[in-house]
């Protein structure tokens, strides 16, 4: 389709995807000292991406049919089903705005964080741009394989950014840990996409998703609940989910995310809280409208999310390093998002007999987390700069850094999900979803609710401790609280920026956290902006985003609802726990040992296996090769027992020519006699006898040329052996090691080889090619005169074998002569001389 003009929206979204990395590359050409210009160009790249995506979603409503259709295709590699097309539907469009929008703030924050350090900034902005492009690619790509491509790019950029300090071996190790873990998931995703694509021929998300308003899953899924374990769709889903679970740090793969905190804080705030780790959540949300129909979905996604959520919350409260605290709450929140998406597969029927999926406003859940977690990280990094990142060292820091601490407290308020922030509404939505799930999963919802309450309690307690600590109030953490936090070598010390750029250490956080409170206090504003992206607006009687006022009004009218009661219990317990002295240590996460253990097993086990196999002993290698061959042969015999038939057939016609049998007997007897004798001369003579019998066999097979050549070389060889025996030292007395295993392997190999000879020799030839039974029929026919095939040209010789050697396979003969010449040269150079000119 080269003649058709490329559609505008495709180019627009493609430009949006590649703008950040292009801006990053441009900054590489600037002189190192031009930091301000560098910041502005990077900023422009992110802002351009944001603007273009915004223009697209403003033009075409993301959740409308047009928005879900994807843009027109720009062909790239059509044969691999890999083309450039983009899909800015509700999910993708929202994520793209989130990535580019937070990207703008992170560009500013990085300038404040790294200070006026040209080297770090020189490297940082292109890498950040690379990541932003990869992330935008994931969320906007329409082709499944294009998503995968960008997915792997985020793993690479994450690796580069975690191992930012190239001289810190610990950081590099953690970067590898993250890379291997998410890379393994990427392989799973590749497998899932390929399996799905090959099975259904669906390679675009826009074809994958059900059409707008259509509730039923696509045609390739069988009826609800009837999918069997052998269905490739199930395998495709499990593989893709594996990719999502590793990327989004679900238990037990969550260990890489706290490890990734070795990265500079702008990276942690951007990649490891707001965007990249949500790629898995994004993917699961992408898959959900179709794979919700799988009966395995709720039983896999919900428990995994719930376990991750609860476990990470309990670990988070037992950490001292601010970044580790926030890393574990991030894992916890990712588990919550997974769990919420898992709940979407469940149905609820209300008293008006309306049936709906219990998921509601999932984009709000995702946005909510980004709007408080990124600020928390930003402030953690800022505090690490000016004071310490260890919470026990931060007592009373408010007096010195009031702006940062206020932002921290506000973001912590949202972390706790207290009323007034959008986080509260999001938590209510989640609790409602759990509550509504009881119709499908029965009493299991109580366990889910308990998990949610435990998580909320931990988050509230963390908020309480953060607040009391920075304000220096009683109940806060103090320096004598047990052991100091584990130093993860990530204290990047930089020259502190002052003035405008210095304020960039906390202003981006304040901007982000402002959205939390705008949404919380004025839900109408939030709804105005977020609603166009939401596809799951399901609850009857819950059509409006529940503001505090709405819930209160509802409560006064009908009494408090169960989710609200649970929420209040959680807040109350959290406040109490926050002031209690328990759970204040700094514990280690058991799962941190997973990667080092696997690594150790691979390295040590690999070395052991190497020592076992690579003995350096020639005979061991021979036995291994022969053993592998024998196993393969035995396998093929077992697979097709009819392979024995040609042997009987050949046996019945074995006695057709008695001189042949005689010669064969001589060959066999001489060969068998060889290992039985000890005398060197006798052995050589036996070897010669065997060779001459072979010459006789050549004659029986009417091969005069072979017989002549073999005769000549046999004589030379025997002479050579005799000569060599004279030059060699005498035999030492041999130690009599048991030889039965040698004999066994030799006998098995001999039988296998003889058997294969019969099978190969008696297999019917392809009769379409050869009229007769000659393998060399073509050569025979062209030996003297040609045919039409060769335009009448032939070899012009009577002896077909000779014609083959010099005409048809002349280059083989040339090679043979070369081998002979090289061997002669080798012998000549190796042979010891009697009189050497030197030495």
Partner 1 sequence: MTFVMAVCVAVVFGVSIYMLLGRELKGLAMGVFLLGHAANLCILAQSGSPVLPDGEGLKAPPVLSHGDYEAAAHGGEALSRMVDPLPQALILTAIVISFAVMAFLLTLIIVSARKTNTLDINELGKEQLPTPSQAH
Nearer to partner 1, 557 or 736 (CB): 736
Q: At closest approach, how far in Å is the CB of 612 from partner 1?
A: 17
Considering only residues 567 to 626 of the shown chain, the ones binding partner 1 according to CB under 8 A are: 616-619, 622-623, 626
Minimum Å distance from CB 728 to partner 1? 5
Q: Which is nearer to partner 1, 58 or 644 (CB)?
A: 644
Which C-beta is closer to partner 1: that of 223 or that of 732? 732
- Answer yes or no: are the C-beta atoms of 85 and 204 closer than 8 Å: yes
Residue 783 interacting with partner 1 (CB under 8 A)? yes
Enumerate residues 789-808 that contact partner 1 by CB under 8 A: 794, 798-801, 804-805
**3 state DSSP class of 637:** helix
Nearer to partner 1, 483 or 737 (CB): 737
- Paired residues of 515 in beta bridges: none
Residue choice 705, 719, 793, 810 for contact with partner 1 (CB under 8 A): 705
Considering the complex, state which of residue 582 and residue 728 has its C-beta at the smaller distance from partner 1: 728
Question: Is position 833 an interface residue for partner 1 (rule: CB under 8 A)?
Answer: no
Is 689 a binding residue for partner 1 by CB under 8 A? The answer is no
**CB nearer to partner 1: pick between 600 and 713:** 713
Considering the rule CB under 8 A, would residue 719 count as an interface residue with partner 1?
A: no
> CA 735, CA 596: separation in Å to the nearest integer?
48
Can you say whether residue 14 is alpha, beta or left, with left for phi > 0 and alpha for psi between -120 and 50 degrees? alpha
Quick one: tokens of 230?
Answer: 């052998």
Smaller CB separation from partner 1, 493 or 702? 702
Q: Give the Cβ contact number of residue 176 at 10 Å.
A: 18
Among residues 493, 702, 736, 835, which is the contact residue for partner 1, using CB under 8 A? Answer: 702
Name every residue whose Cβ is closer than 8 Å to that of residue 824 and which is 6 or more positions away in sequence. none
Judged by beta carbon, residue 500 or residue 741, the one nearer partner 1 is 741
Smallest gap from Cβ 640 to partner 1, in A, equals 19
Residues 6+ apart with CB under 8 A from 470: 394, 395, 396, 397, 398, 405, 408, 409, 476
User: Which of 495, 631, 727, 791: binder of partner 1 (CB under 8 A)?
Assistant: 727
Stretch in the footprint of partner 1 (CB under 8 A) among 121-129, 275-283, 406-414, 702-710:
702-710
Q: Tell me whether residue 493 or residue 619 sits nearer to partner 1 (CB atom).
A: 619
Contacts of 473 (CB under 8 A, 6+ apart): 467
Per DSSP, the residues of 585-610 read: S-PPPGGGGHHHHHHHHHHHHHHHHH
Task: Identify which of residues 51 and 794 has a Cβ nearer to partner 1 in the complex.
Answer: 794
CB 387 within 8 A of CB 378: no
Residues 179-218 that bind partner 1 (CB under 8 A): none
Could you tell me the smallest distance in angstroms from the CB atom of residue 721 to partner 1? Answer: 7
Q: 82 — phi, psi (to 5°)?
A: -130, 100
**Which of residues 728, 767, 811, 834 is near partner 1 by CB under 8 A?**
728
What separation in angstroms does the CA of 131 have from each of 20, 137, 218, 390, 814? 8, 10, 33, 29, 57
Q: Which residues pair with 652 in a beta bridge?
A: none
Q: Tell me the C-alpha distance between 445 and 451, whole Å.
A: 10
Q: Does 627 bind partner 1 (CB under 8 A)?
A: no
Tokens of 498: 């002052």
CB of 609 vs partner 1, minimal distance in Å: 21
Compute the least distance from the CB of residue 712 to partner 1, in Å.
9
Looking up tokens 């030059």 gives: 727
What's the CA dihedral at 107, 111, 117, 122 to 10 degrees? 20
Is residue 781 near partner 1 by the rule CB under 8 A? yes
- Check: CB of residue 414 under 8 Å from CB of residue 513: yes
Interaction pattern, residues 633-672, with partner 1; x per rule: CB under 8 A: --------------x--xx-xx-xx--xx--x--xx--xx
Span near partner 1 by CB under 8 A; candidates 461-469, 511-519, 563-571, 827-835 = 827-835
Q: Per CB under 8 A, does 787 bind partner 1?
A: yes
Please report how close the Cβ of residue 801 comes to partner 1 at its closest, in angstroms. Answer: 5
Cα 137 to Cα 96: distance, rounded to the nearest angstrom: 9
Interface size with partner 1, residues (CB under 8 A)? 108
Stretch that binds partner 1, among 61-69, 103-111, 418-426, 705-713 (CB under 8 A): 705-713
Which two structure tokens, joined as six digits, stand for 632? Answer: 């393969």
For residue 351, the 8-state DSSP code is T
Give the residue among 132, 110, 108, 131 at the shortest CA–CA distance from 511.
108
Per CB under 8 A, the segment of 247-255, 567-575, 633-641, 828-836 that binds partner 1 is: 828-836
Instruction: Decide: 340 and 358 in contact? Cβ < 8 Å.
Output: no
List 832, 834, 836, 837, residue binding partner 1 (CB under 8 A): 832
* Window 757 to 776, contacts with partner 1 (CB under 8 A): 757-758, 760-762, 771-776
Encode 627-656: b = buried (16+ Cβ within 10 Å), e = exposed.
eeeeeebeeeeeeeeebeebeeeeeeeeee
Give dist(CA 419, CA 389) in Å, integer. Answer: 28
- Nearest by Cα to 151 from 123, 187, 127, 125: 187
**Does the protein bind partner 1 through residue 746 (CB under 8 A)?**
yes
Q: Which of 349, 720, 793, 810 binds partner 1 (CB under 8 A)?
A: 720
Shortest Å, Cβ 725 to partner 1: 7
Cα(762)–Cα(368) distance, rounded to whole angstroms?
Answer: 75
Angle between helices 422-436 and 562-579 (to 10 degrees): 120
Per the rule left: phi > 0, alpha: psi between -120 and 50, beta: everything else, 589 is beta
Which of 286, 589, 690, 692 lies at the binding interface for partner 1 (CB under 8 A)? 690
716 scored as a contact of partner 1 (CB under 8 A): yes
CB of 824 to partner 1, least distance (A): 8
- Stretch touching partner 1 by CB under 8 A, among 297-305, 385-393, 531-539, 737-745: 737-745
* Of 352 and 734, CB closest to partner 1: 734
698 binds partner 1 (CB under 8 A): yes
**Between 236 and 758, whose beta carbon lies closer to partner 1?**
758
């Amino acid at each position: 389709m080269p003649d058709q003009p490329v559609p505008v929206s495709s180019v627009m979204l493609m430009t949006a995807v590649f703008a950040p990395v292009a801006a990053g590359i441009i900054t590489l050409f600037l002189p190192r000292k031009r930091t301000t210009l560098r910041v502005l160009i990077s900023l422009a790249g992110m802002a351009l991406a944001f603007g273009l995506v915004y223009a697209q979603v403003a033009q075409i409503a993301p959740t409308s049919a047009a928005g879900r259709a994807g843009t027109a295709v720009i062909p790239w590699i059509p044969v691999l089903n890999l083309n450039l097309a983009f899909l800015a539907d509700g999910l993708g469009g929202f994520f793209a705005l989130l990535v580019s929008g937070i990207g703008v703030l992170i560009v500013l924050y990085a300038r404040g964080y790294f200070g006026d350090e040209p080297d770090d900034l020189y490297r940082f902005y292109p890498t950040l741009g690379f990541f932003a492009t990869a992330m935008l690619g994931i969320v906007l790509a329409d082709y499944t394989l294009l998503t995968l491509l960008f997915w792997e790019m985020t793993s690479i950029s994450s690796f580069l950014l975690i191992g930012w300090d190239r001289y810190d071996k610990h950081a590099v190790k953690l970067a590898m840990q993250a890379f291997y873990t998410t890379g393994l998931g990427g392989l799973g995703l590749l497998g899932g996409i390929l399996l799905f694509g090959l099975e259904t021929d669906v390679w675009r998300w826009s074809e994958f998703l059900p059409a707008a308003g259509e509730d039923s899953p696509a045609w390739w899924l069988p009826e609800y609940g009837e999918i069997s374990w052998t269905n490739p769709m199930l395998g495709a889903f499990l593989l893709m989910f594996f990719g999502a679970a590793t990327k989004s740090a679900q238990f037990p793969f969550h260990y890489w995310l706290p490890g990734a905190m070795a990265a500079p804080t702008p990276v942690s705030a951007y990649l490891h809280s707001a965007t990249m780790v949500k790629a898995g959540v994004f993917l699961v949300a992408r898959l959900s409208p179709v794979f919700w129909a799988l009966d395995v979905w709720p039983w896999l996604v919900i428990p995994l999310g719930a376990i991750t959520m609860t476990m990470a919350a309990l670990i988070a409260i037992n950490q001292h390093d601010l970044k580790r605290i926030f890393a574990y709450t991030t894992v916890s929140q990712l588990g919550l998002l997974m769990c919420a998406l898992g709940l979407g597969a469940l149905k609820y029927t209300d008293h008006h007999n309306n049936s709906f999926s219990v998921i509601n406003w999932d984009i709000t859940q995702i946005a909510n987390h980004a709007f408080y977690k990124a600020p928390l990280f930003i402030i953690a990094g800022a505090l690490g700069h000016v004071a310490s990142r260890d919470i026990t060292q931060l007592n009373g820091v408010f007096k010195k850094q009031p702006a940062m601490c206020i932002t921290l407290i506000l973001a912590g308020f949202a972390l706790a999900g207290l009323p007034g922030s959008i986080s509260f509404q999001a938590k209510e939505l989640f609790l409602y979803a759990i509550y509504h799930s009881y119709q499908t999963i029965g009493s299991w919802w109580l366990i889910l609710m308990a998990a949610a309450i435990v998580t909320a309690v931990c988050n509230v307690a963390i908020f309480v401790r953060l607040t009391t600590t920075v304000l220096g109030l009683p109940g806060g953490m103090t320096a004598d609280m047990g052991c100091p936090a584990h130093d993860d070598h990530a204290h990047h010390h930089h020259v502190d920026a002052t003035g405008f750029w210095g304020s960039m250490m906390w202003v981006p956080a304040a901007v982000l956290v402002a959205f939390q409170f705008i949404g919380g206090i004025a839900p109408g504003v939030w709804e105005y902006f977020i609603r166009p992206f939401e596809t799951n607006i399901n609850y009857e009687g819950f059509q409006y985003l529940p503001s505090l006022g709405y819930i209160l009004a509802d409560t006064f009218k009908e009494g408090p609802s169960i989710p609200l009661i649970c929420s209040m219990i959680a807040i109350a317990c959290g406040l109490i726990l926050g002031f209690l002295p328990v759970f204040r240590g700094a514990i280690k996460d058991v799962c941190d040992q997973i990667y080092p253990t696997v690594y150790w097993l691979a390295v040590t086990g690999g070395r052991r296996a190497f020592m076992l196999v690579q003995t350096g002993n020639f005979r061991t290698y021979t036995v291994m090769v022969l053993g592998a061959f024998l196993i393969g042969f035995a396998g093929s015999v077992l697979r097709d027992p009819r392979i024995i038939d040609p042997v009987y057939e050949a046996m019945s016609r074995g006695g057709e020519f008695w001189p042949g049998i005689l010669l064969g007997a001589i060959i066999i007897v001489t060969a068998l006699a060889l290992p039985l004798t000890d005398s060197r001369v006798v052995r050589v003579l036996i070897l010669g006898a065997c060779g001459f019998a072979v010459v006789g066999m050549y004659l029986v097979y009417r091969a005069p040329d072979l017989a002549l050549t073999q005769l000549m070389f046999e004589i030379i060889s025997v002479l050579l052996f005799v000569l060599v025996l004279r030059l060699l030292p005498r035999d030492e007395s041999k130690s009599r090691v048991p030889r039965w295993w040698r004999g066994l392997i030799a006998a098995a190999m001999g039988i296998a080889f003889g058997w294969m000879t019969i099978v190969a020799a008696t297999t019917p030839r392809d009769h379409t090619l050869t009229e007769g039974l000659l393998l060399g029929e073509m050569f025979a026919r062209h030996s003297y005169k040609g045919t039409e095939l060769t335009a009448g040209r032939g070899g012009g010789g009577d002896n077909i074998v000779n014609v083959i050697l010099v005409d048809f396979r002349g280059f083989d003969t040339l090679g043979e002569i070369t081998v002979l010449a090289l061997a002669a040269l080798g012998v000549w150079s190796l042979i010891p001389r009697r009189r050497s000119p030197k030495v």
